[in-house]
Structure 1
Amino acid sequence: MKTNQKVLGAAICAAMLSLVGCEKASEPKVTAEPKDKTPAQTETTTKENVKLAEVQELVRGNGTEPASLDPHKTEGVPESNVIRELLEGLVNQDGDGNLVPGVAESWETEDNLTFVFHLRKDAKWSNGDALTAHDFEYSFKRAVDPKTAAPYSWYLEMTTMVNAAAIINGEKDASELAVKALDDYTLEIKLEQALPYFVAMTSHTTLKPVHRATVEKFGDKWTLPANFVGNGAYKVAEWVVNEKIVMERNENYWDNDSTVINKVTYLPIENQVTDMNRFLAGEIDMTYEMANEHFKRMQKEQPDSLKVTPYLCSYYYGFNNKKAPFDDVRVRKALSYAIDREAVAKFIVGKGELPAYNFAHQKVAGLQVDTPDYATWSQNERNAKAAELLAEVGYGKDKPLEFTLLYNTSENHKKIAIAVASMWQKTLGVKVNLENQEWKTFLDNRRNGNYDVTRAGWCGDYNEASTFLSLMQSNNGNNDQFYNSPAYDGFMNAAMTAVDDAVRGDNYRQAEAQLAQDMPLAPIYHYVNARLVKPTVGGYPMNNAEDKIYTKDLYIIAK
């Protein structure tokens, strides 16, 4: 998933648990109280044995204004953070990244090709309508329908749902997607290829359900607060564009009795220093990320508030492979080699990020990669090779390469862009024009190829190598680098059809080697997640590698 401005890389733990077949997992962390009494009115929780604050409200920084609240119209992390509160899919994750039941109480498969989900009978929409398997059938078919123009429709193709690819390519009607409500509470999904991690993929934003009657009545305006009907723990109360999104508890949510926080507010704060200062002033409870230059100070001054957790994301610069001179691999390699990743990771971001020489996060479950040759060189050797390659193309001091580096508005991204541009200028004499754009415009221009070189980040949608490597396949709708390699596609297709884990892993290894050879993008570092969280926020997940935070699992502790 595309990142807006997450602060960055380190060791990932917590592989997915129980990917196929599930016994009913333990219920949320705060024990339900009698229905005539909300948890916020009780004095303690049985798990933490802490006194709860009288006011159960949470304010979060969210980086930027969401492009949409329609799960089939979004592709970024800021949007998913909000949608996770408003809509619930078949499965959720707990604080360690393990799968737990969502709308589906249980599921089973005998061959990893046909999956049957059994939905809970007490699930409802926020307007009181019953939530059924027919809602999921409608929603999945809407997501894959070309008429919807979902930026993440390719994700359904990656699940290998039967006919998904043909529907996306306009060869079949969306009604032919192999998702079927066998009855109101039984959903069957058939795949073309056996995927043992398919259930984990269903926790993704694009596979959240939408309320058909509301969508069909209001069209694109169905996400306005007055119209929104969701099935999550919260419902939209107020949305002031570029100011705040306020959500209140959904009394019709199936597990509302176990929810503690009554109201959550998301603020679109793009400047990390502003985010931090508002936290220090007591105006917000949780920042979106940390301002890099203040990290060490916060370690000393706010040790109880600073949270550094694993994060399954990669930070990179993408080259426009269909635009000269970036259609020449020598130019791409020269620019990539001249980036001092060690310096960026240690001094520019400096929170434990890992320098990256391959695309997929190096701690993704089961990933094995060959160390590319350039990763074994000293930075001086990389710089020398970069200058040599650029000279071969005809660029040098007398004819400097000049281009624009695009990034979305963020002080952290700006600092990295300035540092890398300086490296390029010093090593190669390159002239770099920096351009920042607000999130939605940035995404549109990147998707349409209106750039030379762009900042990019990718967060895993599930803990398996394909969540990263499928992005560079020529048929992937989010392949904003326009990379097209039959060899790479071949490795990925072989990996996705492999029955044996070792064969799949070997093809992933070869796919990474192909990326190092073709350099359609320049990996820079692998993330960690660092943010400020008030010590009074209980239940904060420290081991969820995808940073999936559910406010319904949090609570405010009395001071």
Structure 2
Amino acid sequence: MQRRSLLALALATTALATPTLAADVPEGVTLADDQSFTYRTLDEFSSFDPQVVEDVDGSEVVRDLFEGLYNQDAQGNTVPGVALSHTVSDDNLTYTFTLRDNAKWSDGTPVTAGDFVYAWKRAVDPALASPYAWYMELMSIENGAAVIAGEMAPDALGVSAPDDRTLVVQLSQPLPYFTKMVSHATTFPAPAWVIEEHGSEWTRPENIVTNGAYVLTEHVPKERSVRERNEMYWDNANTVLDRVTTLTIGDDAQGLTRWRAGELDMTDIPAGQYPALAEEFPTEAYALPRLCNYYFNFNLASGPEAFQDVRVRQALSMALDREVIVERVLQGGQFPAFTFTPGATAGFEVPDVPMAAMTQAERDARAKELLAEAGYGPGGQPLSFTYLYNTSEAHQQVAIVASQMWKQKLGVEVELANQEWKVFLETRGNQNYDMARGAWCGDYNEASTFLDLVTTESGYNDAKFSNARVDELMAQAKSSSDPQPLYTEVEQILAEEMPVIPVYHYSTNMMLKDEIQGWPVDNVEQTWYSKNLYRVAE
């Protein structure tokens, strides 16, 4: 969505002019008889519960099963979902959403504003312990922080439903990008009657009730999940795909083999293989810029004592040759990162940081000096630590190359450890690591979706970095008409303090069969919905 000032929206109804999302099949295209789509994921999903899901792959499924106030189109613009429009008060603190009258749950129950109120209060309720509760606080919803902290009851959250078609949200401060945030899974509605009946088992295929374009019909953990058309969905007539199957395949090479065999319509490209595959399959191999970063977390809470010395952190960052990682290891159009926020982020200007202007030889020389000054390396104390990553061939290759660079240049010994995704998330979240892989894909297209992660209270500040100035700057940015200078200063503080090592900014590397059409290649967030895809006849 193009950035627009809230002042221009004050007291005016914002009717989203872009047509509602639906599969847009061009004239003359012959659709296949079999309207199915099968794709591969690396790991088991964290959850199908919109208020609990915390991973990218899981969120892709949840977007099919549930629909929020607004969606995204193929370019990343905001378009109607359950809400048709909204108004904003003069002080930019009150948002009033008007909901469509034909939205239904898969059991035929109408979708109401009360379903959103229930879901949002549920998301901030400490009893649920949602891993994304902090996201609701970032949305600046009135009393959100106090409810999450257990200081107020969930009913105090600034969200209400005067009637079934009206949702009112009260903010504690103006937030220019608020409407971008309501296409995120955490803000999707939830069926109270189903959750109350089935508890934590409400998302099982035999129990789940959804309001999105699809329903979950099968789920075999760590193996497969199937979702099929929701006949009650308000725009079911314009949905083309009948069935979407996700296969969990933990090996990139095996995924590619099965794609070649025709068992998969989409799979990730193994690290380093994009150039060859693009030559072999020029219309089916994709390398698309994506709003994600890849970084290494230092455990500043309970990790090695050496990590408390900023010179050690700086040395490890400088000795990392990012060009080698993206150009020789990954080879998929990724971008070397010296800032936390990707340059593809809307409205963000990548600031100058000293390390980015240096040659790799200069960085290596400075890294040796810094490590020696800190008392480590040749002539000083030996430095060793464990690097933790979630199981993946690409993550393993990056880990091996990074550890070799540190050993060869600095004499640092690194033990590599990998864990299955859910175990990894728990281990990292509990600070049971020395250094750990980190990655973040923007929840909305604005720099704060990345920089909020390094604030003291962020739920995903896995490094446990705390800087009062960063907290102050990010608080100011939320209501600033021009937050770029604030973001620049935050990035410069990160470059100096180095609580995390930015490694690269993502590119989506995938193999997608020509028969599958409608993929949003121009959406830098890569937010896709199965209802917008279709299979053409071969």
Q: Say whether 1:410 aligns with 2:389.
A: no
Partner of 2:537: 558
1:95-134 → structure 2 map (5 Å cutoff): 95-111=74-90, 112-134=92-114
C-alpha displacement of 1:547 = 1.0
Structure 1 window deviating more from structure 2 (143-152 vs 266-275): it is: 266-275
User: Cα deviation per residue 1:443-501 (whole Å; 9 max; x = unaligned)?
Assistant: 00111101111111111111111011001000111111100111111111121232x22
Partner of 2:354: 373
C-alpha displacement of 1:225 = 0.7
Structure 1 window deviating more from structure 2 (382-391 vs 234-243): it is: 382-391
**Identity among equivalent pairs (%):** 45
Q: Distance in 1 between matches of 2:524 and 2:5?
A: 16
Residue 256 of structure 2 aligns to a residue in which SS?
Answer: helix
Q: Say whether 1:27 aligns with 2:20.
A: yes
Partner of 1:535: 514
Partner of 1:72: 51
- Which of 313, 323, 329 does residue 342 from structure 1 map onto? 323
Structure 1 window deviating more from structure 2 (203-212 vs 325-334): it is: 325-334
Q: Distance in 2 between matches of 1:16 and 1:219?
A: 40
Partner of 2:345: 364
Partner of 1:474: 456
Distance 1:460 1:314, change over 3 A: same
Q: Say whether 1:229 aligns with 2:209.
A: yes
Can you give the 5+ residue segments of structure 1 that lack an aligned partner in the other structure?
1-13, 32-44
Distance 1:441 1:17, change over 3 A: farther
Q: Distance in 2 between matches of 1:184 and 1:393?
A: 63
C-alpha displacement of 1:18 = 9.6
Which AA in structure 2 matches 1:136? F
C-alpha displacement of 1:73 = 1.5
C-alpha displacement of 1:270 = 2.3
Residue 267 of structure 1 aligns to a residue in which SS?
Answer: strand
1:275-354 → structure 2 map (5 Å cutoff): 275-287=255-267, 289-322=268-301, 323=303, 324-354=305-335
User: Cα deviation per residue 1:294-347 (whole Å; 9 max; x = unaligned)?
Assistant: 211111111111122221011111111123221221111111111001111211
Structure 1 window deviating more from structure 2 (187-196 vs 435-444): it is: 187-196
Contact 2:319 2:363 in 1 (8 A): yes
Which AA in structure 2 matches 1:376? A
Extract structure 1 runs of 4+ deviating beyond 4 A: 14-20
Q: Distance in 1 between matches of 2:234 and 2:336?
A: 44
Q: Normalized against structure 2, the TM-score is what?
A: 0.96
Greater relative contact order, per chain length (Cα 8 Å cut-off, separation 6+): 1
Which AA in structure 2 matches 1:512? E
C-alpha displacement of 1:293 = 2.3
Q: How many residues align?
A: 528
- Which of 446, 451, 467 does residue 433 from structure 2 map onto? 451
User: Cα deviation per residue 1:363-396 (whole Å; 9 max; x = unaligned)?
Assistant: 2112134311121111121112212222222211
Q: Cα RMSD (Å) of the superposition?
A: 1.5
Partner of 1:213: 193
User: Cα deviation per residue 1:158-183 (whole Å; 9 max; x = unaligned)?
Assistant: 11010011111111111100010110
Distance 1:64 1:17, change over 3 A: farther
Contact 2:344 2:524 in 1 (8 A): no
- Which of 135, 147, 158 does residue 155 from structure 1 map onto? 135
Contact 1:114 1:191 in 2 (8 A): yes
Which AA in structure 2 matches 1:140? W
Contact 2:73 2:79 in 1 (8 A): yes
- Which of 459, 483, 491 does residue 473 from structure 2 map onto? 491
Q: Distance in 2 between matches of 1:73 and 1:261?
A: 27
- Which of 503, 520, 538 does residue 499 from structure 2 map onto? 520
Q: Say whether 1:181 aligns with 2:161.
A: yes
Q: Normalized against structure 1, the TM-score is what?
A: 0.92
User: Cα deviation per residue 1:500-538 (whole Å; 9 max; x = unaligned)?
Assistant: 22xx22111111111111100000111111101110001
Q: Distance in 2 between matches of 1:142 and 1:481?
A: 27
Q: Distance in 1 between matches of 2:444 and 2:417?
A: 32
Structure 1 window deviating more from structure 2 (291-300 vs 256-265): it is: 291-300
Q: Say whether 1:91 aligns with 2:84.
A: no
Residue 427 of structure 1 aligns to a residue in which SS?
Answer: helix
C-alpha displacement of 1:108 = 1.9
Partner of 1:383: 364
Q: Distance in 2 between matches of 1:479 and 1:216?
A: 32
Distance 1:345 1:16, change over 3 A: farther
Partner of 1:36: none
Partner of 1:442: 424
C-alpha displacement of 1:16 = 6.1
- Which of 421, 426, 435 does residue 403 from structure 2 map onto? 421
Contact 1:18 1:98 in 2 (8 A): no
Contact 1:244 1:268 in 2 (8 A): yes
Which AA in structure 2 matches 1:327? Q
Partner of 1:396: 377
User: Cα deviation per residue 1:229-273 (whole Å; 9 max; x = unaligned)?
Assistant: 111100011101111000110000010010011000011122111
Q: Distance in 2 between matches of 1:547 and 1:67?
A: 19
User: Cα deviation per residue 1:259-296 (whole Å; 9 max; x = unaligned)?
Assistant: 01100001112211111111110001111x21122211
C-alpha displacement of 1:110 = 3.5
Which AA in structure 1 matches 2:420? E
Residue 432 of structure 1 aligns to a residue in which SS?
Answer: strand
Distance 1:126 1:547, change over 3 A: same
